[in-house]
Amino acid sequence: MAAKATKLMRVLKSDDAKFADDWFSICNRRVDSVLDVEEDVAKIIAAVRKDGDTALKGFVKKFDGAALDELEVTPEEWDEGCEQVDSADRAAIGKAAMRVREFHRKRIPSSWEMREEGGGYMGQRVRPLARVGLYVPGGKALYPSSVVMNAIPASVVEVPEIVMCTPPRDDGSITPEVLMAARVAGVHRVFKMGGAHAVAALAYGTEAVPRVDKITGPGSVWVATAKKQVFGQVGIDSEAGPTEVAIIADKSATPAWLAADLISQAEHDELAQAVLITHVKGLITRVQDQLTRQLKGLDRADIAKKSLKARGAIVQTKNLAESIRLAEEYASEHLVLAVEDPEKISKEIQNAGAIFMGHYTPVAVGDYMAGPNHVLPTGGTARFFSPLSVEDFLKRTSFMKFEPPKLRELGADIVRLANVEGLTAHGASVELRLAKIRRARREREAARDLEL
């Protein structure tokens, strides 16, 4: 039994000759090539654009497995769904929503302006988007927490209309817990649709589904591909991929807890990736043994095993500093610091979607109840993307106004820069105004001379 346990996750050693290649394969984890759906997604989008609700209902039946007369959840359905939620579950969803709302209210960007001598006036106006679409995945699991995390930042900045879509069950209904989460999170309308067809409907609008300004939320490769294809016609948050976790562990870590954290990500999806990075050789065998023990009887054991075997890894490093360096290169969606001084080490981390510090902060804390958003950059994009936040549901418009004295002060430099770039018409647009300013100045001077 112990021998089998050691084979569940592959072990990479940083001092092996092949480590650089193996580590590159771990970091290069995007799965775009696993399932090539570009062409099929393009056809679905084109059909929804052309035939609207007719095509959309056909795709809901084909892909979501539900024959629908109406795509939108009615107020009565919504009420009935919420009434079915267990009171304790209702309280937990409400508490999570309250904490997420409190976190996102802490720092909301606001409009600002500045004035300069000579008549310079400029700044930015910050306004919410008019209508946003939230994609909430279904299929292999139910995600009321995704409703909370996507909707609340939009609700906090008072987006006028928040539209949500999620795959229906076979009977055409939406899971009560998802409807409950939508209600407490501030969603205005809910539609029964999933996959690429849902993204297309939100991006272009149909008879029943309103066109939105931005689509947020994770989903399958079909959803991710559709979001990528409609980007430009509509805003998106990012190209979300399979979930992932990297754990840095030292001698203070508990093997059973490390194994539990690895499994908790692996159970999401066969394509999820869980990576343990440690310089403590003795942890490795014990973690492998715990993985085998904890997977027994787990509801989603088959999914977790496939993920851990095919995509997971335990990396044995020379020291803690090397572990930190590798974690930075990996740029994980979730980074767990199972170490003695997590706060100190966290200050060295630049590339991570969210950092979970210490032995009592598993990823599940952030998934449900801490407050920071769990919609995070994946696939190494934590190097340049950030967690979903209120900024994702706001747009900024710059404004400026120059009075004649200010244009006279800066006009010559504007003309010079325009000429440097060969854009002489730009310069001319300023020169015409400067000429009028100079004429007006000469006329004022002449009038004063006459008075004298």
Contact 338, 292 (CB under 8 A): no
Round the CA-based radius of gyration of the chain to a whole number and report it.
28
Closest to 85 measured CA to CA, from 150, 144, 170 = 144
Asked if 419 and 427 count as a contact pair (C-beta separation under 8 A), the reply is: yes
Contact between residue 402 and residue 376 where contact means Cβ atoms under 8 Å apart? no
The residues that bridge with 399 in the sheet, in sequence order, are: 123
Q: Are 257 and 338 in contact (CB under 8 A)?
A: yes
Burial of 94 (0-12, 13-18, 19+ CB in 10 A): middle
**Active-site choice (104, 197, 268, 334):** 334
Does residue 269 contact residue 243 with C-beta atoms inside 8 Å? yes
**Which residue is it, tokens 């404004």?**
399
- Exposure string for 127-136, b = 16+ CB within 10 A, e = fewer: ebbebbbbbb
Q: DSSP secondary structure string, 416-433? A: HHHHHTT-HHHHHHHHHH
Active site residue 72: no
Q: Identify the active-site residue in 333, 359, 403, 431.
A: 333
Contact criterion met (CB below 8 Å) for 231 and 175: no
334 included as an active-site residue: yes
Pair 274, 312: CB distance under 8 Å: yes
DSSP secondary structure letter of residue 209:
S
Which DSSP category does 341 fall into? -
Q: Known catalytic residues?
A: 333-334
